Chains A and B, each alone.
Chain A
């Protein structure tokens, strides 16, 4: 060998696990795509355009705030996709863009970018538009309406800063059955009528773009869990927390409060548990903390759903969980090997 060998001093360890941030992000994007695809299949062109708008606005905001290289980590794409999945399919595109800009700008970049955000950016965006456009965010449209691949939901193309047109009449005209425009959760809350578990599971009920098929969410979430891209203890404890709380109230007053099965599979709980609560940045790192965080989110979701003014509580429950994370981490520091229990 030559004496002029290039020698570099490297710190230990000299080897490294193959997975890095980009691999993880790429896999999460991959796992979100079937959900987005299902939404497009359900709601057609409007959903497709909304998805593209939201993701593009997220990427553009990241580009404007950050440097070009932070785009490559893929986290902005995830935020965009997840945000899209939480919006009603007929959400006006300009409002979708506002949500995307808020999600990345307010939820992520203001805190310092990747890894610094306190809250899940997608949910920050969603919370912002929930407050800003309370009507549009709760205007649901029927799935599988005729002509969904040739025409738009009327509200989709509303001009910026205008009030989107009323869709109730349109919805009545395209729906196969009588469409009430209410989600299963709203029906349960205000009319005490429960959607059949099968419909909830397969995702043929009304709701946000990505929250309707529990089965699909479960499958995609499991893929990530198996590939170790998400901490399975989080969704499991979120769902456990929700199930236990729901059962408790159901036993107290079965007539008023739906059972655990309905709670688990309706609304955005599945999506939230597998894809939102598991956001690594906003969740605790300690083994005990992760479980406490999950249980907290599950329980708060059910409490908001049953007693709050809103029909859905997952978003605020997760944001609350995010806020509690530093505290939870603080109090659940693991016992160090060899430390005496005191």
Chain B
């Protein structure tokens, strides 16, 4: 009972039904290669990678096929052995059309990774570690796809004291992080040690939602021998896996508004990311595949699958025996994952799940939109303590400037709690997105008017997206 009261958590948030039982107990299985892979050049936040291969070139599994373009960028590697068919724009979950490298996979292609980096992890210093993380193309696998090496590079003047390892997986349906924690705990702990070394942090805390007792128990047992790694249970509540919420739950600290965790000396990484780091670095391999939760009504063999990056979701669905009447295909979790418009859309580094939602699962058709009745549920759900009711009314009136100036629109990280709970079914998050885009466009226009001579504007990273819930 006392434990219940001491449960580590943040205030506000929601409790959607989690739907994890369908997949959480199933071991990770491997998916075969499709005939053709569609490998986007911008699977990460930041500048797209630059292709290193040309049409018709042969590539082997693990070989770099595109290089990082600057610091806020990561390279892309061939997920399978085959021949480059083409480099052309294809639909992806991020955008309608983005440049992709199409690879015709050889029929006899093996799962063996044939291309290796000569890394010696035990001899690497901080800088070498960060560089290796960039070379392997690692990004946040929780869904944000923010380049991991950027998170791990801690400047001298802003040291980090704590590494928070995010094992919450608060999105409903998803269980890939859960499976990775249970099946690869040693990889995870090795990755945590690398990250501690790279960041110079004194200790690491692995925060896991208390709906995964097996993962908590297993990691606590293994981490008992590591003096600087702790494992903590946190309340199962959405969006516990948002980095700001998790830091609040574990450390009682608030990341200042508009700031990043490093401002208060914290670095946050997802368990899937660090387990991948722990598995790949000693072998000198790059990121070529990831674990994806595939589930939803009509999926005959739901579960967690190790999927080569670039696999079209149509192929994944065929492999899991999907024959439903779905209308909404989501890459990621149901709260923050984008809908895809095309079954050729590939699984990328940030795809934590492939959800197939049919009409009863989303039942939005039968949900008319009512006017706001001022019930205040959104206010009590918003983890950032914003006032979505007021923001929604201002958005409807087109008063975007006031939303930003007086009601902290910029602090909204689009977790969807307000939209989820709204009894009037008002698409609040969608309205906020429109408002944010309008404000970005305004700012861009003003910047252009101020310096008309500037050529080729640097695309800024999207800092808001870093906070995405895992």
Q: Tell me the nearest residue of chain A to B328, going by C-beta.
A: A10
B328-A21 in contact (CB<8A):
no
Q: Interface 1/0s, chain B 384-395, versus A by CB < 8 A?
A: 111101100000
Is B68 close to A, CB under 8 A?
no
B371-A113 in contact (CB<8A):
yes
Q: When the two chains form the complex, which single residue of A13, A24, A115, A329 contacts B419, counting CB atoms closer than 8 Å?
A: A13
A115-B341 in contact (CB<8A):
no
A17 vs B17: C-alpha distance in the bound complex, in angstroms?
9
Note all chain A residues with C-beta closer than 8 A to B325: 6
Is A9 close to B, CB under 8 A?
yes
B244-A337 in contact (CB<8A):
yes
Is A286 close to B, CB under 8 A?
yes
Q: Interface 1/0s, chain B 316-331, versus A by CB < 8 A?
A: 0110001111111110
A–B pairs, 21, beta carbons within 8 Å: A8-B339, A11-B427, A12-B334, A12-B338, A12-B429, A16-B367, A16-B419, A17-B14, A23-B423, A24-B423, A69-B368, A115-B370, A115-B371, A280-B375, A329-B390, A333-B387, A336-B408, A337-B254, A337-B411, A339-B408, A340-B257
Is B115 close to A, CB under 8 A?
no
In B298-346, which residues have CB < 8 Å from any A CB?
A: 314, 317-318, 322-330, 334-343
A115-B357 in contact (CB<8A):
no
Q: Tell me the nearest residue of chain B to A17, going by C-beta.
A: B421
B322-A1 in contact (CB<8A):
yes
Q: Number of B interface residues, CB 8 Å? A: 73
Once A16-B362, A336-B411 are accepted as A-B contacts, the answer to whether A5 and B343 lie under 8 Å apart by CB is yes
A334 vs B383: C-alpha distance in the bound complex, in angstroms?
12
B370-A20 in contact (CB<8A):
yes
Once A6-B327, A20-B424 are accepted as A-B contacts, the answer to whether A13 and B256 lie under 8 Å apart by CB is no
Q: Interface 1/0s, chain A 310-342, versus B by CB < 8 A?
A: 000000000000000000010001111111100
Known: A7-B341, A14-B361, A21-B370. 17 other contacts (CB 8 A): A1-B323, A9-B339, A10-B362, A13-B419, A15-B16, A15-B357, A17-B421, A21-B373, A69-B368, A285-B379, A285-B389, A335-B385, A336-B411, A337-B257, A337-B384, A338-B244, A339-B408
Q: Interface 1/0s, chain A 7-45, versus B by CB < 8 A?
A: 111111111110111011000000000000000000000
**B296 CB to nearest A CB, Å:** 10
Is A281 close to B, CB under 8 A?
yes
Is B363 close to A, CB under 8 A?
yes
Is A290 close to B, CB under 8 A?
yes
Max count, chain B CB within 10 A of own CB: residue among A14, A116, A280, A334? A14
Q: When the two chains form the complex, which single residue of A69, A116, A281, A334 contacts B385, counting CB atoms closer than 8 Å?
A: A334
Note all chain B residues with C-beta closer than 8 A to A290: 376
Once A16-B364, A115-B372, A286-B379 are accepted as A-B contacts, the answer to whether A338 and B254 lie under 8 Å apart by CB is yes
A280 vs B341: C-alpha distance in the bound complex, in angstroms?
38
A196 vs B151: C-alpha distance in the bound complex, in angstroms?
70
A-B contact count (CB 8 A): 168
A13-B374 in contact (CB<8A):
no
Is A267 close to B, CB under 8 A?
no
Is B430 close to A, CB under 8 A?
yes
Q: When the two chains form the complex, which single residue of A3, A14, A20, A340 contacts B425, counting CB atoms closer than 8 Å?
A: A20
Note all chain B residues with C-beta closer than 8 A to A23: 423
Q: Tell me the nearest residue of chain A to B325, going by C-beta.
A: A6
A24 vs B421: C-alpha distance in the bound complex, in angstroms?
13
A231-B257 in contact (CB<8A):
no
A17-B376 in contact (CB<8A):
no
Once A21-B423, A336-B384 are accepted as A-B contacts, the answer to whether A13 and B335 lie under 8 Å apart by CB is yes
Q: Tell me the nearest residue of chain A to B238, going by C-beta.
A: A13
Is A86 close to B, CB under 8 A?
no
A50 vs B416: C-alpha distance in the bound complex, in angstroms?
45
A16 vs B426: C-alpha distance in the bound complex, in angstroms?
11
Q: Which 6 A-B pairs have the closest CB atoms?
A: A115-B371, A13-B416, A285-B376, A338-B257, A11-B430, A280-B375
Is A73 close to B, CB under 8 A?
yes
Is B255 close to A, CB under 8 A?
yes
Note all chain A residues with C-beta closer than 8 A to B338: 12
A280-B376 in contact (CB<8A):
yes
Is B177 close to A, CB under 8 A?
no
B423-A10 in contact (CB<8A):
no
A73-B370 in contact (CB<8A):
yes
A228 vs B421: C-alpha distance in the bound complex, in angstroms?
12
Note all chain B residues with C-beta closer than 8 A to A20: 367, 370, 423-425
Q: Tell me the nearest residue of chain A to B337, going by C-beta.
A: A12
Is A287 close to B, CB under 8 A?
yes
B370-A14 in contact (CB<8A):
no
B355-A14 in contact (CB<8A):
yes
B322-A15 in contact (CB<8A):
no
B329-A7 in contact (CB<8A):
yes
Query: Main SS of the interface on chain A?
Result: loop
Note all chain B residues with C-beta closer than 8 A to A73: 370
Once A11-B430, A12-B416, A15-B420 are accepted as A-B contacts, the answer to whether A338 and B255 lie under 8 Å apart by CB is yes
Q: Number of A interface residues, CB 8 Å? A: 45
Chain A positions within 8 Å of B, measured between CB atoms, are: 1, 3, 5-17, 19-21, 23-24, 69, 73, 113-116, 231, 280-287, 290, 329, 333-340
A73 vs B364: C-alpha distance in the bound complex, in angstroms?
17
**A28 CB to nearest B CB, Å:** 11
A335 vs B382: C-alpha distance in the bound complex, in angstroms?
12
B326-A334 in contact (CB<8A):
no
A12 vs B408: C-alpha distance in the bound complex, in angstroms?
20
Note all chain B residues with C-beta closer than 8 A to A336: 257, 384-386, 408, 411
**A6 CB to nearest B CB, Å:** 5
Q: Tell me the nearest residue of chain A to B418, going by C-beta.
A: A13
Note all chain A residues with C-beta closer than 8 A to B384: 336-338
Is B414 close to A, CB under 8 A?
yes
Max count, chain B CB within 10 A of own CB: residue among A12, A20, A115, A290? A12
Once A6-B327, A20-B423, A334-B387 are accepted as A-B contacts, the answer to whether A14 and B367 lie under 8 Å apart by CB is no
Is B252 close to A, CB under 8 A?
no
Q: When the two chains form the complex, which single residue of B254, B334, B375 contacts A14, counting CB atoms closer than 8 Å?
A: B334
In B243-286, which residues have CB < 8 Å from any A CB?
A: 244, 248, 254-259
**A117 CB to nearest B CB, Å:** 10
Q: Tell me the nearest residue of chain A to B381, going by C-beta.
A: A17
Q: When the two chains form the complex, which single residue of A6, A13, A287, A337 contacts B420, counting CB atoms closer than 8 Å?
A: A13
Once A11-B429, A115-B374 are accepted as A-B contacts, the answer to whether A340 and B256 lie under 8 Å apart by CB is yes
Note all chain B residues with C-beta closer than 8 A to A16: 362-364, 367, 419-420, 425
Is B380 close to A, CB under 8 A?
yes
Max count, chain A CB within 10 A of own CB: residue among B322, B337, B368, B433? B368
Note all chain B residues with C-beta closer than 8 A to A285: 374-376, 379, 387, 389-390
Note all chain B residues with C-beta closer than 8 A to A287: 379-380
B408-A115 in contact (CB<8A):
no
Max count, chain B CB within 10 A of own CB: residue among A16, A281, A283, A339? A16
A281 vs B375: C-alpha distance in the bound complex, in angstroms?
7
Q: When the two chains form the complex, which single residue of A14, A19, A21, A340 contacts B339, counting CB atoms closer than 8 Å?
A: A14
Q: Tell me the nearest residue of chain B to A6, going by C-beta.
A: B327
Note all chain B residues with C-beta closer than 8 A to A114: 370-371, 373
Q: Tell me the nearest residue of chain A to B429, going by C-beta.
A: A12
Max count, chain B CB within 10 A of own CB: residue among A6, A13, A334? A13
A282 vs B244: C-alpha distance in the bound complex, in angstroms?
33
Q: When the two chains form the complex, which single residue of B341, B364, B383, B416 contacts A337, counting CB atoms closer than 8 Å?
A: B383
